[in-house]
Amino acid sequence: MESRNPNEDLLQEFLNGDSSEESLRRLTEAAAEDPSLASQLASELEFSELIRQSFSGAEVFAAETFESALDYQEMTKDELIEKACEGSISREQSDQLVKMLWEDPVAAKELRDRLAFDEWLREAVSGSKREEAFLESLETRMWAETKEDHFVEDFTERLEKEIAAQEEATGNIVPMPPAFSRKRTTAQMNGVAAAIAVGAFFLVQQFTGGTGTEKSVATVAKSSIDAEWSNETLPGDEGEILPGRYELKSGVVSLQFVSGGEMTVEGPAVFTVAEDESAFMYHGVAMAKAGDSKNGIPLQSKGLRVSESVPLIGIDARGEHSTAAIAFSGDGGVCLPDGGKCRSLFEMEAVKADRIRDKFVAIPFDPEPFSKTWELLAGVEKNMGSVRIEPPGTKIEASDSLDGKNEVQVFVENDSFYPDHDLEVDQIQLGEFAGAETNPGQALQASGELRSYLLQLWPSEGGDGEEVEASLTFDHPVVGVIYSSDRLAESDHSVGTAITHVGEEFNSGRGLDSGSDQILLSDDRRTINLKLNGGDLEVDQIRVLVALN
């Protein structure tokens, strides 16, 4: 059998696009030493190019090109430039223009200036809309590409002020939107946490319907202590929400709808509620949770409407020209307004409806704008100390974002479930601190709807080992606490946790087994206080079960 020249193999590899760096280097060296190989290589490359061109079909248009050539000869340079700026220039006309410009560099410079001027005209005519869209889009891209680097809020905030000042000075054609959509910085979030740490949330008495002739569609179920309504749009004396327009100047409120859905709104916000229990957000941040009916609250903004109910959805309608939507739980669909395009919205997916471009843009999943609305929805009415309520969808895993801080993370593990058998929980004495140690446990009967929270203190390398204190008040009574490692592992399945780091080694030390940690459940079974040893090398986890009914 005839042996093949190794250079031929190298050449074929190259022509087939399979060359590695090494084989390309060898082929180059061989071609340098062997003129016939170099010649063959050149010939093959030329032929490859011919094959490529034959697919592009360039010659098919030859006649057409010739006819066009006859036409465009009658066009002047200015006409061609006009067409180029308009975007209606044909390929042949473009070639003709290019030929002219090469011969006349001054004209090329004129065209560049004209193109730039056109761009400014576009921007100037559209007022601040385009500027805002550009910056919002840049913001999104920077978030996507720089991930944790939260510099963007700083410049968006500054630009907002400066553009507003500019527009005030120049009296621009289009009024300035009230605010850019922006995300909170970590520092701001810490500020939020601090505000909550002094017990910001309190439960407002559960109201039952309006007293007027109009029927209320919802009631204010909870408010943060800083919640302030506009005087013109106050809810009824007993918190009833009649169909109409409301303005929440600050704080967070939770509205319980008659059909069972719950919506939390963060001020400043302007929204309307209709008789059919739909809500339209003109401005602000809102989260909506479907009730028992699972139909959800039909949410809308100027940028989008929720067309297919999502069990837990958030919309950020602070941007004048865009609305962001996140499906935190379950799938659904959203549409652009006025019969615009619709699209599916899958769990943990985020989109932005861009009103200027009239389209949806996929954006990074970022739950932070919803942190305050979520806290009210999560059922933690009050928290003090080193506590962080994790947004929905956060994986229960080792947290690398605590920056060496000892914080108790609170995960809503399972929002609602019915255990199919009794659960073994740890014994706990009401009303006094006690060491969390080995105990015989007790059975929690499988007799109703429960919600499960997982509290977690992750050992922090940068932590100073000091005791970590935390206090959490829930909106439903605590019926079971599980802090023993074995009971935590045993109850994982019943609870249906999304915990990601289970394993034999992990399970053996995840609870409060050392006896050095202390736990207290208040007499009314609503508040859990923790004193945890921050110097532990293993994670501390506590499962809290509350009864929803």
Partner 1 sequence: MEISDRELFTEQVREHHAGLRGFVRSLGVNPLWVDDVAQEAFIVAYNRLEEFDRERDFGAWLRGIARNLVINERRKDARRKRILSDNLTDVLLSTSSVAEDDEGGVGDTGLAKLNALRECIRTLPEKSLQMLKSRYEDENSAQKIAEEIDMKPPAVRKALERVRTSLRNCMEERMNLATSS
363 binds partner 1 (CB under 8 A): no
CB-nearer residue toward partner 1: 188 or 522: 188
Rounded to the nearest whole angstrom, what is the least distance from the CB of residue 336 to partner 1 in the complex? 18
112 near partner 1, judged by CB under 8 A: yes
Q: Is 122 in the site for partner 1 (CB under 8 A)?
A: yes
Does residue 233 interact with partner 1 by CB under 8 A?
A: no
- Give the range of 22-30, 114-122, 196-204, 392-400 binding partner 1 by CB under 8 A: 114-122
**Contact residue for partner 1 among 20, 73, 88, 500 (CB under 8 A):** 88
For the chain, give the longest Cα–Cα distance: 101
Out of 52, 109, 245, 501, point to the residue binding partner 1 (CB under 8 A): 109
If one asks whether residue 170 binds partner 1 (CB under 8 A), the answer comes out as yes
Q: If binding is defined by CB under 8 A, does position 86 make contact with partner 1?
A: yes
Residue 32 or 138 with smaller CB distance to partner 1: 138
Query: Of the candidates 58, 138, 187, 234, which one interacts with partner 1 according to CB under 8 A?
Result: 138
- Of 11, 84, 306, 546, the one binding partner 1 (CB under 8 A) is 84
User: What's the first-to-final CA gap in the chain, in angstroms?
Assistant: 85
- 101 counts as binding partner 1 under rule CB under 8 A: yes
| Rounded (5°) CA angle 532-534-539 | 85
Could you say whether residue 187 binds partner 1 (CB under 8 A)? no
| Using rule CB under 8 A, residue 274 touches partner 1 | no
Task: Calculate helix-pair angle for 129-146, 105-125, nearest 10 degrees.
Answer: 100
Q: Which is nearer to partner 1, 68 or 126 (CB)?
A: 126
CA–CA gap between residue 201 and residue 383 (Å, rounded): 8
Secondary structure of 64-120 in the HEC alphabet? Answer: HHHHHHHHHCCCCHHHHHHHHHHCCCCHHHHHHHHHHHHHCHHHHHHHHHHHHHHHH
Specify the pairing of strand 244-250 against strand 201-203: unpaired
Binding partner 1 (rule: CB under 8 A), the pick from 151, 202, 365, 433 is 151
For residue 5, state whether it binds partner 1 (rule: CB under 8 A): no
Of 29, 33, 47, 141, the one binding partner 1 by CB under 8 A:
141
Amino acid letter, residue 343: R
Tell me the C-alpha distance between 105 and 119, whole Å: 21
Name the token pair of 362. 């996929």
Please, what is the minimum distance in Å from the beta carbon of residue 122 to partner 1?
A: 4
- Cβ 486 vs Cβ 438: under 8 Å: no
Q: Are strands 279-289 and 299-301 parallel, antiparallel or unpaired?
A: parallel
- What is the Cα–Cα distance from 44 to 19, expressed in whole angstroms? 15
Exactly one of 15, 159, 225, 502 binds partner 1 (CB under 8 A); which one?
Answer: 159
**Shortest Å distance, C-beta 155 to partner 1:** 3
Contact region with partner 1 (CB under 8 A), list: 103-111, 241-249, 305-313, 389-397: 103-111
Site size toward partner 1, by CB under 8 A: 54
* Per CB under 8 A, 171 contacts partner 1: yes
Q: What is the DSSP string of 255-313?
A: EEETTS-EEEEEEEEEEEE-TTS-EEEEEEEEEEE--TT-----EEESS-EEEE--SEE
> What gap in Å lies between CA 351 and CA 364, rounded to an integer?
8
Query: What amino acid is encoded at 141 in this protein?
Result: R
- Give the one residue of 123, 366, 437, 538 binding partner 1; rule: CB under 8 A: 123
Residue 172 exposed, middle or buried by CB count within 10 Å (0-12, 13-18, 19+): middle
Q: Please, which residue, 111 or 217, has the CB nearer to partner 1?
A: 111
Binding test (CB under 8 A) with partner 1, winner from 28, 126, 414, 514:
126
Applying CB under 8 A, the residues found at the interface with partner 1 are: 82, 84, 86-89, 91, 94-95, 97-98, 101-102, 105, 108-109, 111-113, 115-127, 131, 133-135, 137-138, 141-142, 145-146, 149, 151, 154-155, 158-159, 162, 166, 170-173
